[in-house]
Every structure is written in C-alpha cells, then in structure tokens.
C-alpha cells in the first residue's frame, strides 16, 4: 500500500466550477502538507503549504488538512482554463520539503 494515495482523475470541469482534489495518507508522522501544480513538460511548482491540521487560503485556492482522518484537500474556486495542469499532493514528516512523499497526481482540465 502506498503511503500517499491521490484521487486519480482525470478531472474535466467547465470554467467557473469549484474543483476538489483529495489525498489520503497512512503515515501519522506526516506534519507538512504541500500541493504542487505541474504544467505539461515543466517541473512542479509549489502552490500551497500547510503545517498540521487546519485550513489555508490563498486567492482562489484553499488547502485543508484533517490529520485525524489522514485526509487533505485542495479546493479551487472559479476555475480557469489556466488552471489546467496536474496537481500533486506531497507530505513530509520533517521540516525539509525536499524529502517529501508525493501522490501520483490528478490531471485537471478546465474547459472554456
């Protein structure tokens, strides 16, 4: 069983929709939770970073962490065609983001 499981997708939504991306994990030691966005033929870029449980909002993006359920989510409001990309969740037990465990990614397409 993988340490991090991500809803596989792919996901296709109309422009303006609310998107929910989700991951579950099994390692209770994970304390740092990240979401990356990866455009085709590019490296991942960090979108959101959350420590422990709770919500974090940044513009149209909201990250939620529920450590009791070992479940994290990324919500995208008013989705735009430019949001079309693969979204990767990642988690680490220590402070070094570089030693993260990644989900397999969910590919999102936002149609105009």
Partner 1 sequence: SAVISQKPSRDICQRGTSLTIQCQVDSQVTMMFWYRQQPGQSLTLIATANQGSEATYESGFVIDKFPISRPNLTFSTLTVSNMSPEDSSIYLCSVELSGEQETQYFGPGTRLLVL
Residues that bind partner 1 (CB under 8 A): 4, 6, 32, 34, 41-46, 49, 51, 88, 90, 95-100, 102-105
Closest CB to partner 1 among residues 8, 81: 8
CB contact set of 25 (below 8 Å; sequence gap of 6+): 3, 4, 5, 70, 71, 72, 91, 101
Query: The tokens of 59 are what?
Result: 């513009």
Closest CB to partner 1 among residues 50, 79: 50
Reported residue count of the chain is: 112
Alpha-helical runs (H) found in the chain: none
Closest CB to partner 1 among residues 2, 77: 2
Task: Judge contact between 49 and 33, C-beta under 8 A.
Answer: yes
Closest approach, Cβ 30 to partner 1, in A, equals 13
Closest approach, Cβ 64 to partner 1, in A, equals 18
Closest approach, Cβ 5 to partner 1, in A, equals 10
């Amino acid at each position: 069983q993988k340490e991090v499981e991500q809803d596989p997708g792919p996901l296709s939504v109309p422009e303006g929709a609310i998107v929910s991306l989700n991951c579950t994990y099994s390692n209770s030691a994970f304390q740092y939770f990240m979401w990356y966005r990866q455009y085709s033929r590019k490296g991942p870029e960090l979108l959101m970073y959350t420590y422990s449980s709770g919500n974090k909002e940044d513009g149209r993006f909201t990250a939620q962490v529920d450590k009791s359920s070992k479940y994290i989510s990324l919500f995208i409001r008013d989705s735009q065609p430019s949001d079309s990309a693969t979204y990767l969740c990642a988690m680490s037990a220590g402070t070094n983001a570089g030693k993260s465990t990644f989900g397999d990614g969910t590919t999102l397409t936002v149609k105009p």
